[in-house]
Amino acid sequence: MARILITSALPYINGVKHLGNLAGSMLPADIYARAMRLMGHEVLYICATDEHGTPAELAAQAAEMGVAEYCDKMHEAQKQAGAQFGLSYDYFGRSSAPSTARLTQHFAQVLEKNGLIEERVSKQVYSNADGRYLPDRYVEGTCPNCGFEKARGDQCDSCGKLLDPVDLIDPYSAVSGSHDVEVRDTNHLYLLQSKMSDRLREWVNDSTGWPPLASSIALKWLDEGLRDRSITRDLDWGIPVTDAAGNVRDGFDGKVFYVWFDAPIAYIGATQDWATENDGDWESWWRTDKGADDVQYVQFMGKDNVAFHTLSFPTTIMGSDEPWKLVDQLKAFNWVTWYGGKFSTSQGRGVFMDQAIEIAPSDYWRWYLMANAPEGSDAAFTWEDFQSSVNSDLANVLGNFVNRITKYCVGKFDGVVPSGGEAGEAEAWLENELTDRLPKLIKFYEARDFRKAMAETRAIWAAGNEYLTQAAPWTHYKTDVEQAAIGVRRGLNLVALFGIIAQPVIPEAAAKILDAIGVPEDRRSWNFGKVKDLLDALPVGHTVAAPELLFSKIEDDSVANWTERFGGGDS
């Protein structure tokens, strides 16, 4: 079995994340991790809060807290939100951990030694009102690309173009709102990505398992000419720029490494912290000279993070000339849109994870977001689609099936798996259906095709309902109890199967189903074997129960209330 290292893009520390963040990185990474574990693979799923950069300072300022204190608080809030959504991280670390600081300083020194970092004088916005340089998101203004009037200094939320603060039209301070700003010279370190263009292009072209979205973004940047990027900023909060002796580099007091330089390095740092706390071996996951050659490294992220993960971070890893593990498969997602625009943490637009969990169970969100995963294009969120997906797929197709057959068994067969009956056309149809569909389901998960995996899961659930229609045990019970028994027996084994295949996406409901049907913990893996054996896996005489209500339907009144509270629709 494979060893699979999984990372999802680090969520910014500036507040609990919205559903778009969840759907674009953390949730699909979790579902993939769960599926791979069920298939018997050794999985290490790493994530961390991204705590440096201007978003952290601005959010702390708005909360009237010190930055370190704010980051402590929000790390715990994000960790709790992840737990509420069932995100099965093996470790959820912090980019502010000492491990990441040491690695960042190490990489910077090695890259400079290898001729890939140099000190340059650059132009930067200075606020006379604030008495300081304004890096990245401390500057706002009009986007020179699309004309959006509230573009940030690092990126435009409207068109997605990466920016430099000096590119903005009519810039102003995001700290004080003052337009009394000017461009001044300041010293910074630059990562010479342009020197790595040929190596990066060869690597991207040779990579397999990437969706077109990821490879096309990387190649577009390479085709346009890869720019050298500043990797330091004028900030107090962050990783200090040090020399080989550990002292602050001359002329770099009040400067720290740019968040996009150190954040991906935190994948390695968090793995080191996992190893420290769990007596693990981090090098066997990250160092190809220590056993990581056999690791499959899979990254998950939204499309706005692709360039940094396919070009900037690989420049750091490859440019070090050290035996570090590079990503093998990169799964990139488009955006989940909120009634014509993007979900936005900074602008408070959309539904956030802590709010979502207040109004519906996590399984509802997990299913809906992955059944409508923004893979081929942006996916529009609407309350009506959420309602329809939960009511149709979960309540009607899965919940109704489990409820009908388990209650019937309890009522007519004393809650035990009955014996008797002979397989007929309905059973043959069911066996053929599962023989065809189960390998497809596994294939879709292995390929990280989440929409297709959810559609196949629903199709298997629907096949169970069709089987009960064909087998009609309730009709046979009136004249031939033994013939009714085989329908019930097959139906109960389908309940077990449905719970087993539901585990990656709706783990809470799956556990309720499997507990009620009495499937032992060591029999819940995806070692399906022959379908014929699978449909007789529960022994005759085995006791089963009807689980509590799995899914409550979402009523129109709830949709109206949520629309009024959060917006959307015609409101």
277 and 413 share one domain: no
pLDDT at position 569 is 61
Q: What is the H or E stretch that residue 69 is in?
A: helix 67-84
429 and 466 together in one domain? yes
Are 423 and 441 found together in one domain? Answer: yes
Query: Does the residue 396 lie in any domain?
Result: yes
Residue 571 has pLDDT above 50, yes or no: no
What's the pLDDT score for residue 368?
98
Task: Write down which residue in 342, 358, 380 finishes a domain.
Answer: 380
Query: Is residue 282 one of the residues assigned to a domain?
Result: yes
Q: How many CA atoms lie within 13 A of 318 on its CB side?
A: 22
Residues of the chain above pLDDT 90, percent = 86
Of the candidates 320, 351, 380, which is a domain's last residue?
380
Query: Taking 90 as the threshold, does the pLDDT of residue 132 lie above it?
Result: no
Element (H, E) at 375: none
449 with 351, same domain? no
Segment 98-109, tens digit of pLDDT: 999 999 999 999
Number of residues in the chain: 571
Instruction: Give the tens place of pLDDT for each residue, 284-341.
Output: 999 999 999 999 999 999 999 999 999 999 999 999 999 999 999 999 999 999 987 8
Question: Could you give phi then psi for residue 212, rounded to 5 degrees?
Answer: -55, -35
Q: Please report, for the domain that includes residue 26, its CATH number.
A: 3.40.50.620
What domain range includes position 474? 383-534
Specify the number of domains making up the chain.
2
Token pair belonging to 255:
């400067």
Residue type, 252: F
Together in a domain, 329 and 373: yes
- pLDDT digit string, tens, across residues 345-379: 777 788 999 999 999 999 999 999 999 999 999 99
The alpha-helical segments, DSSP class H, found in 287-424 are: 306-307, 313-319, 353-359, 362-371, 383-389, 400-412
C-alpha distance from residue 137 to each of 140, 313, 380 (Å): 7, 21, 27
- Is the domain of 344 the same as that of 482? no
Q: For residue 565, how many other CB atoms are within 10 A of its CB? A: 12
SS3 9: coil
Q: Is residue 123 in some structural domain?
A: no
Same domain, 516 and 459: yes
**Does 151 map to a domain?**
no
The answer on 396 and 286 residing in a single domain is no
Residues 396 and 526 occupy one common structural domain: yes
Residues paired with residue 12 on neighbouring β-strands, in sequence order: 50
Q: How confident is the model at residue 397 (pLDDT cuts 50, 70, 90)?
A: very high
Residues 345 and 394 in one domain: no
Query: Same structural domain for residues 438 and 496?
Result: yes
Q: Does one domain contain both 395 and 525? A: yes
* Whole-number average pLDDT of the chain: 94
Q: CATH number for the domain including 455? A: 1.10.730.10
